[in-house]
Amino acid sequence: MNYNRAEEILSSPDNIKVTYKNEPIWIQDLHKASLSASVTVLGSRSSIDVPVKELSEQ
Distance CA 46, CA 36 (A): 16
Rounded average pLDDT over 19-38: 97
Distance CA 11, CA 21 (A): 22
Task: Supply the pLDDT for residue 20.
Answer: 97
Task: Supply the pLDDT for residue 39.
Answer: 98
| Coil/strand/helix, residue 8 | helix
* Number of domains present in the structure of the chain: 1
Report residue 45's pLDDT band, with 50, 70 and 90 as the boundaries. Answer: confident
Rounded average pLDDT over 25-53: 97
Q: What is the CATH number of the domain that holds 19?
A: 2.30.30
In the predicted model, what is the mean pLDDT of the chain?
A: 97
Structural domain for 40, as ranges: 3-57
Q: Please report, as a single letter, which amino acid is at residue 22.
A: N
Distance CA 49, CA 38 (A): 4
* Closest of 34, 30, 37, 41 to residue 54, by C-alpha: 37
